[in-house]
């Protein structure tokens, strides 16, 4: 039977002479594996849609739990991504993270909308790449059911002094309350406040704040370390992003080049766009 849906291509792999096997996050069927026959052939009608980070209206033929892409019309191109290696490589990391948490054949509209919004903001180029990356990692953990509990020190039950995030437990602790050998990420007032904001903001507002150094670096390190610890694996695309972004953070960071205030400032007037 034929299915009409929209889907974001998370991954492609060459298949036979002229085809591809795609991993697609769809609106209606969650994560699925799709055969894109002839997608590498010149003049193929599905070639444009069968690219990583393309979001398209798709017609799929489903037979015996196998999906074949028969028609596709790209609807959101994230144009700012294709010309910028740093942003594109970060988008590829987002795609690998989405693939890691998405379930096969289980629709998750929240996850798809979140991924599209993040890619839109990444391509738009108005926000710090490091901030988008960190918010994506932490918010993805929230959506996937791995939100850390940041309410108080898990050991002494007081407001955490010299706060740290315990990466395995996903809880807050004072530096002095930590047990020997526990993996942790150091925090501070600004980075802790930023994490709290990301975990509690409505979906379209999660990226709408600014954070200055050194809180931004602590926030970024903690979010990455936490996501990797919780997912329990490495990401090839993250390693590639780090290679290509070395020394480019200042030029691709845009908004953070001219800090105007210390710590967290929620920009209420700076609304996110909804990629849907």
- Name the one range near Zn ion by CB under 5 A: 65-73, 153-161, 181-189, 258-266: 153-161
- 177 sits near Zn ion (criterion: CB under 5 A): yes
Looking at the Cβ atoms of 69 and 153, the one nearer to Zn ion is 153
Number of residues this chain uses to bind Zn ion (CB under 5 A): 5
Least Å distance, CB 228 to Zn ion, is 25
- 174 sits near Zn ion (criterion: CB under 5 A): yes
Least Å distance, CB 222 to Zn ion, is 17
- 159 sits near Zn ion (criterion: CB under 5 A): no
Looking at the Cβ atoms of 157 and 267, the one nearer to Zn ion is 157
Looking at the Cβ atoms of 111 and 172, the one nearer to Zn ion is 172
Applying CB under 5 A, among 97, 153, 195, 211 the residue interacting with Zn ion is 153
| Residue 56, token pair as written in the block | 């398209």
- Name the one range near Zn ion by CB under 5 A: 1-9, 87-95, 171-179, 248-256: 171-179
Least Å distance, CB 55 to Zn ion, is 45
Q: Which positions lie near Zn ion, rule CB under 5 A?
A: 153, 155-156, 174, 177
């Amino acid at each position: 039977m034929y299915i009409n849906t929209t889907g974001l291509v998370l991954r492609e792999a060459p298949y036979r002479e002229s085809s591809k096997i795609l991993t697609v996050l769809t609106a209606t069927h969650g994560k699925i594996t799709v055969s894109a026959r002839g997608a590498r052939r010149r003049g193929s009608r599905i070639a444009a849609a069968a690219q990583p980070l393309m979001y398209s209206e798709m017609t799929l033929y489903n037979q015996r739990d196998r999906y074949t892409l028969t028609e596709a019309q790209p609807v959101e191109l994230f144009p700012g991504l294709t010309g910028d290696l740093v942003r594109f490589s970060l988008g590829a990391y987002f795609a690998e993270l989405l693939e890691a948490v998405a379930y096969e054949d289980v629709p998750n509209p929240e996850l798809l909308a979140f991924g599209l919004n993040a890619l839109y903001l990444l391509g738009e180029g108005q926000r710090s790449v490091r901030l988008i990356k960190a918010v994506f990692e932490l918010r993805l953990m929230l959506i996937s059911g791995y939100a850390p509990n940041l309410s108080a020190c898990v050991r002494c039950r007081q407001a955490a002094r010299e706060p740290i995030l315990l990466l395995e437990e996903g809880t807050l602790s004072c530096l002095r309350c930590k047990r020997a050998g526990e993996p942790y990420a150091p925090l501070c007032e600004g980075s802790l406040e930023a994490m709290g904001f990301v975990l509690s903001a409505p979906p379209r507002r999660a990226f709408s704040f600014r954070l200055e150094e050194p809180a931004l670096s602590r926030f970024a390190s903690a979010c990455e370390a936490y996501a990797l610890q919780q997912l329990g694996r490495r990401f090839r695309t993250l390693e590639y992003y780090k290679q290509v972004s070395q020394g480019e953070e200042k030029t691709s960071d845009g908004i953070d080049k001219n800090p105007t205030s210390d710590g967290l400032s929620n920009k209420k007037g700076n609304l996110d766009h909804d990629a849907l």
